[in-house]
Amino acid sequence: GNSVTQMEGPVTLSEEAFLTINCTYTATGYPSLFWYVQYPGEGLQLLLKATKADDKGSNKGFEATYRKETTSFHLEKGSVQVSDSAVYFCALRYRGSTLGRLYFGRGTQLTVWP
Amino acid sequence: NAGVTQTPKFQVLKTGQSMTLQCAQDMNHNSMYWYRQDPGMGLRLIYYSASEGTTDKGEVPNGYNVSRLNKREFSLRLESAAPSQTSVYFCASSNSYEQYFGPGTRLTVT
């Protein structure tokens, strides 16, 4: 079946530190992969995505590379800010799904201190 | 362009009461979804709808019913609320490429 495993949080960093949040997946075929971000009190927003192997998604200084050989899509940022404090969700969409259904990881809480 | 809207934002129910959570989208999307979010559990799919007039169960449908009233609206009903249904509920809609989420409804069942 389809599933996503994320590193457990919470993650606490100082401002300007390097961030990595690990994400691995199990899927039939070649899924599309996503990172969503949820700021306090809000719904989820798409942060970045990659639709095929070796694609790199990037947005707001965050990056993630679709690694088929390791079935991974780790999120990275070189220098985090206090405003990056949020919950981050890795997700996949099975390529054969016309419905567009997403499978989510459990989320990783990130707190950045000044 | 409001995107996905949900009402109410907060609700407190007593065990056994019923209520309907409303969701509407103005992006002309065919697919719509209801999720619940619980601490440490991520988002779990309750029901989804591929198009107007069709609905299907997700991972955790027990205790819920849905109605796809038209292309814009997808409601979630709790017929007899239980404390285990205390959660944050998110509605989403989707085109072929991306899901868009509403702001959520925080429900407490006492």
pLDDT digits (tens, 9 = 90+) for B74-107: 999 999 999 999 999 999 998 877 889 999 999 9
Residue A96 pLDDT: 63
User: How deeply is B96 buried, as exposed, middle or buried, from its count of CB atoms within 10 A (0-12, 13-18, 19+)?
Assistant: exposed
A2 has a pLDDT exceeding 70: yes
Closest Cα partner for B46 from A105, A101, A80? A101
Longest dimension (CA), chain A: 44
Average pLDDT rounded to a whole number, residues A88-98: 81
| B 15-54 near A (Cβ less than 8 A) | 31, 33, 40-43, 45, 48, 50
Quick check: B93 and B33 in contact, CB under 8 A?
A: yes
Which residue among B42, B94, B104 places its CB closest to the CB of A43?
B104
Which residue in B66, B45, B68, B23 sits closest to A101, CA to CA?
A: B45
Percent of chain B with pLDDT over 90: 83
- Angstrom distance (rounded) from CA B110 to CA B101: 27
How many Cβ atoms from other residues are within 10 Å of residue B81's Cβ? 21
Average pLDDT, integer, range A16-24: 97
- Chosen from A21, A34, A106 to mutate, greatest number of chain B CBs within 10 A: A106
Neighbours of A42 (CB within 10 A): 14
What type of residue sits at position A68?
Answer: K
User: Rounded to 10 degrees, what is the CA torsion of A20, A21, A25, A31?
Assistant: -80
Residue A11: pLDDT over 90: yes
Choose among A98, A102, A105: nearest Cβ to B99.
A102
Distance from CA of B64 to the nearest CA of A (A): 19
pLDDT of residue A99: 62
Phi, psi torsion values for A23, nearest 5 degrees: -145, 125
Distance CA B104, CA B79 (A): 20
* Interatomic CA distance for residues A28 and A41, integer angstroms: 34
What's the rounded Cα separation, in Å, for the pair A31 and B47?
A: 21
- What is d(CA B64, CA B76) in angstroms, rounded to the nearest whole number? 7
Mean of all residue pLDDT scores within chain A = 92
Model confidence pLDDT, tens digit, residues A38-65: 998 888 999 999 999 999 999 999 999 9
Q: Which residues pair with B73 in a beta bridge?
A: B24
Residue, of A95 and A7, whose pLDDT is higher:
A7
Is the pLDDT at B64 greater than 90? The verdict is yes
Among A87-96, B4-13, B18-27, where is mean pLDDT lowest?
Answer: A87-96
